Structure 1
Amino acid sequence: MSLESQVKIFKWISILEGISFLVLLLIAMPLKYIWDAPQMVQSVGMAHGILFVAYIFGALLLYKPMEWNLKTLAIICASSVLPLGPFYVEKKYL
């Protein structure tokens, strides 16, 4: 698989992970804790968890081919726990 296609896949994972995190925080969690409707947290939470793991795995796979240093890799991985972090990574590093 070419580097270009790996980066394209990681961009999509980054965008989807960021969207799933925002949906979890801004829609699913209020539904659970304000309106006592936890169903969405279960499904969105599972999707977000899978995308989070894929994001970290993708960052580790791109570490050497993209010639990132450890600081850049740390920033990219740390951005996954910030609500808008994956969008920042997608624009700045990819």
Structure 2
Amino acid sequence: MFSLFNSFKVIALLEGISYILLLFVAVPIKYLANDPQYVKLLGMPHGLLFVAYIVLAVLLASQLKWHGKTLLIVLAASVIPFGTFYVDRTYLKKAK
């Protein structure tokens, strides 16, 4: 079964991948090829994954007894490209 911890790891991975695809594939295609279709295609799933990441991070913070600074770093990582991978490697590996 999926625990909150495992669910967060999966959502963090998917959110990170969707953000990278959105920033480095869809947005350049939108502006260089004048084709906004990929931004529309990837935008909604990324938005849903982003919201799920934030909600699960807040829930997981109390379970793992993260300090406010740690939670702030985990939340800020969601808006930095490759940030969720950093969270996985730095904070989630330690929590296991």
1:10 aligns with 8
Cα distance, 1:51 vs structure 2: 0.4
1:79 alignment counterpart:
77
Q: Show structure 1 runs of 5+ residues with no match.
A: none
**Which residue of 1 is the match for residue 38 of structure 2?**
40
Superposed structure 1 runs of 4+ greater than 4 Å apart: none
| Cα displacement (A) at 1:43 | 1.5
Amino acid at match of 1:21: Y
Distance, in Å, in 2 between the alignment partners of 1:21 and 1:64 is 26
Can you give the 5+ residue segments of structure 2 that lack an aligned partner in the other structure?
Answer: none
Which residue type is aligned with residue 44 of structure 1? L
Number of equivalenced pairs: 92
Higher helix share: 2
Q: How many Å separate the matches in 1 of 2:28 and 2:42?
A: 13
Quote how far apart the aligned CAs of 1:92 are. Answer: 1.1
Identity of aligned residues (%): 51
> How large is the Cα RMSD of the aligned pairs?
1.3
Report what 1:59 is aligned to: 57
Tell me the TM-score normalised to structure 2 length. 0.92
Paired residue type of 1:7 = F
Correspondence for 2:47: 49
Distance 1:78 1:42 in 2: 24
Normalising by structure 1, we get a TM-score of 0.94
